[in-house]
Amino acid sequence: MLNIILFGPPGSGKGTHSIKLAEKMQLYHLSTGDIFRSEISNKTLLGIEAKQYIDKGALVPDDLVIKVLLSTLEKQEKAKGFIFDGFPRTLIQAQKLDEELNKKGIPIKLIISLEVNNKEIITRLVKRGLESGRSDDNEEIIKQRLAFYNKQTAPLLEYYSKQNKLYTIHGVGLIEEIFVDICKTINQQK
Ligand code: AMP
């Protein structure tokens, strides 16, 4: 069992690298953002509620996010491990994740933080918004998301650093080269 968190601001490449890692290591890719987008397109109650926050660039409340976590962990009981992408984003979520995984005896092995500067992030996300039509990828909302990241999510770096689980990777450059760095870091800790 191998549980990994891919961490970083919006647009740092968490999604791209999570997909590649999940495939290479046969792990389950758990992206709370993807789950919310699917709930929104299926017009479920969860989707309708989450959309109000996502459209503003705010974080979805912890109780909703934790519900998604618990139901996914339960559904994917047989997974060989998880790549957490975009989760946790608050201290409460991180503590809940630790509590659940420790209960099962499968704690987080490591967290990889992708470092990308703000200017690059904005350029990447504006481009993604134009290509994908993702409604929260416009400059005004991107700035909100970055502000929420800095205030609520970045403090988790210290939480995981204190657990000696934090590894930082420079996230600007060729995707393949960054991916090699990520894989090397994981293989050294396995
Ligand atoms: P993402 O695709 O990971 O960038 O997530 C898109 C949006 O979904 C975020 O800007 C948040 O509004 C919401 N979201 C996704 N994951 C979380 C989470 N763990 N906690 C709170 N909100 C989340």
Q: Give the per-residue pLDDT at 135.
A: 87
Confidence (pTM): 0.97
**Overall domain count for the chain:** 1
Give the atom of ligand 1 at the shortest distance from the alpha carbon of 136: 10
Structural domain for 13, as ranges: 2-181
- 111 within domain boundaries: yes
Render pLDDT for 29-86 as a digit per residue (tens, 0 to 9): 999 999 999 999 999 999 999 999 999 999 999 999 999 999 999 999 999 999 999 9
Kindly give the distance from the C-alpha atom of residue 86 to the centroid of ligand 1, in angstroms, as a whole number.
6
Which residues have CB under 8 Å from 156's CB, separation 6+?
Answer: 7, 88, 89, 90, 91, 94
Provide the pLDDT confidence category of residue 190 given band limits of 50, 70 and 90.
confident
Q: Any residues with Cβ below 6 Å from ligand 1, and which?
A: 10, 32-33, 36, 53-54, 58-60, 65, 86-89, 93, 136, 145
Work out which ligand 1 atom sits closest to the CA atom of 86: 3
- Residue 132 inside a domain? The answer is yes
Is residue 103 within 8 Å of 94, Cβ to Cβ? Answer: no
In a domain, 29, yes or no: yes
* CA of 2 relative to ligand 1 center, distance in Å: 23
Question: How far is residue 23 from each of residues 69, 77, 80, 83, 122, measured CA to CA in Å?
Answer: 21, 18, 12, 10, 28
Average pLDDT, integer, range 146-169:
97
Nearby residues of 154 by Cβ (< 8 Å), 6 or more positions away: 9
pLDDT digits (tens, 9 = 90+) for 161-189: 999 999 999 999 999 999 999 999 999 98
Q: Whose CA is nearest to atom 14 of ligand 1?
A: 33
Closest CA to 33 of 140, 14, 17: 14
Domain contains 134: yes
With respect to residue 189, please indicate whether it lies within any of the assigned structural domains. Answer: no
| Nearest atom, ligand 1, residue 85 CA | 3
Answer whether residue 129 shows pLDDT above 90.
Answer: yes
Mean pLDDT, rounded, of the chain: 96
- Of 69, 86, 59, give the one whose Cα is nearest residue 5: 86
Q: Is residue 190 part of a domain?
A: no
Question: Which residue has its alpha carbon closest to ligand 1 atom 15?
Answer: 33
Residue 169 · residue 185 · CB < 8 Å: yes
CATH number at residue 155: 3.40.50.300
CA 97 – ligand 1 centroid, Å: 16
Half-sphere exposure of residue 57: CA atoms within 13 angstroms, side-chain side:
18
How far, in Å, is the centroid of ligand 1 from the Cα of 52?
12
Distance 32 CA to ligand 1 centre (A): 6
